[in-house]
Amino acid sequence: MVIGDRIIKKMMAYPMNTSPYALPPEELERITDDLENICRGFSTLDEVIRFLTDIEERENRWDDPTGNMARIDEVFSRHRNA
């Protein structure tokens, strides 16, 4: 659910994302379509976080006009530092 929520928010914010490295909507849709198979490979929350972090790193930069991504990142950071 966390991955799906994150990807859907990226899809909704795509028109406002000014990053030249943003994953295109087709790639984001592929992730949501294959979400069940992707998640089968995860056994810990850390693996989910790593998957989402890898996406952010591939994009290289994320403009977050709504502030939603920053709040999610804060939660991930707290979990990682706990």
Decide which of 29 and 71 is more confident: 29
The per-residue pLDDT for 47 is 93
Q: Does residue 62 have a pLDDT over 60?
A: no
The phi, psi pair for 22, rounded to 5°, reads: -60, 140
3-class secondary structure, 53 = helix
- Count how many domains the chain has: 1
Mean pLDDT of 50-67: 79
Domain that holds residue 48: 2-81
